[in-house]
Amino acid sequence: MDHDITKLIEYGIDTETGIGYTGNREKYISALQRFYRSYDKNRAKVESALGENDLENYMIIVHSLKSNARMIGAANLSAKFEALEMASRNGDMETVKSETSDALSDYEMIVKVLEPIGTADKVTAADEISADEARKIAKDLLASLDDYDDEASALLAAKLAGYPFRLTQKDLLKKATGYIGDFLYDEAAGIIEQIAETIE
């Protein structure tokens, strides 16, 4: 199915930036669908953390939303979540309480715009791997790092890059790959363990 993404630009979504972050058009459509389908769960997490005055978990979820919005090219929404992340990091509950509603309204608006794409048949890029595959590869990668096997580790790290990680995790995986090339196995393993926890 050929999804029309041209209208997204009217709503402040920079599709070229999104395609640049995700790698190609097919991966971008897949990212848009995940963004759409995770809305209810993520909104509930934000509202729950806010209702419990739990700034630590609030900060974690808005950090994730900041990265997710940036990855699909929704820069304005990403900036709003970034401001909320900074406010929560600084313990500024007043700003968190006054600005969350506005950010969630923008989030909802973008999700509504994405509905035709989000409710369509799931798009999986040709080189995209599933969560189960990613978990197995991460486990094998940690074992190869433990064996100081740089060739196998580099190969497995390249395979792991096929999982649709958020931008933060993608950057961490690149860092881990660099460590593997420098034979810094413990440092690479620490990052892979961290990344593996985000596979869902």
Report how far residue 108's alpha carbon sits from residue 118's, in angstroms, rounded to the nearest whole number.
13
* CA Rg value for the chain: 18
Question: Are 27 and 54 contained in the same domain?
Answer: yes
Question: Are 154 and 83 contained in the same domain?
Answer: no
Q: pLDDT (tens digit, 9 = 90+) per residue, 88-147?
A: 999 999 999 999 999 999 999 999 999 999 888 776 666 688 889 999 999 999 999 998
User: For position 124, what pLDDT does the model report?
Assistant: 67
Residue span of the structural domain in which 102 resides:
6-118
User: For position 105, what pLDDT does the model report?
Assistant: 97
Q: pLDDT (tens digit, 9 = 90+) per residue, 67-77?
A: 899 999 999 99
Question: Are 72 and 110 contained in the same domain?
Answer: yes
User: For the residues 188-192, what does the mean pLDDT come to?
Assistant: 94
Give the end of a domain, one of 95, 118, 141: 118
Give the end of a domain, one of 91, 118, 145: 118
Q: Is position 1 within any domain?
A: no
Question: Are 106 and 140 contained in the same domain?
Answer: no
User: For position 165, what pLDDT does the model report?
Assistant: 84
Are the C-beta atoms of residues 152 and 137 closer than 8 Å to each other?
Answer: no
Threshold 0.75, pTM exceeds: no
- Residue with tokens 């990855």, as numbered in its chain: 71
User: For the residues 41-53, what does the mean pLDDT come to?
Assistant: 95
Question: Are 53 and 109 contained in the same domain?
Answer: yes
Give the end of a domain, one of 93, 118, 143: 118
Q: pLDDT (tens digit, 9 = 90+) per residue, 139-186?
A: 999 999 998 888 889 999 988 988 888 888 888 999 999 999 888 899
Report how far residue 106's alpha carbon sits from residue 13's, in angstroms, rounded to the nearest whole number.
12
User: For position 43, what pLDDT does the model report?
Assistant: 96
Question: Are 71 and 49 contained in the same domain?
Answer: yes
Report how far residue 110's alpha carbon sits from residue 154's, in angstroms, rounded to the nearest whole number.
38
Question: Are 185 and 140 contained in the same domain?
Answer: yes
pLDDT band at 190 (very low <50, low <70, confident <90, very high): very high
**Which residues touch 3 (CB under 8 Å, ≥6 apart)?**
29, 32, 116, 117, 120, 123
159 versus 86: the higher-pLDDT residue is: 86
What is the phi/psi pair of residue 196, to 5°?
-60, -30
Q: Is position 126 within any domain?
A: no
Question: Are 93 and 150 contained in the same domain?
Answer: no
Question: Are 161 and 112 contained in the same domain?
Answer: no
User: For position 102, what pLDDT does the model report?
Assistant: 97
Considering its fold, how many domains does the chain have in total?
2
pLDDT at residue 1 greater than cutoff 60: no
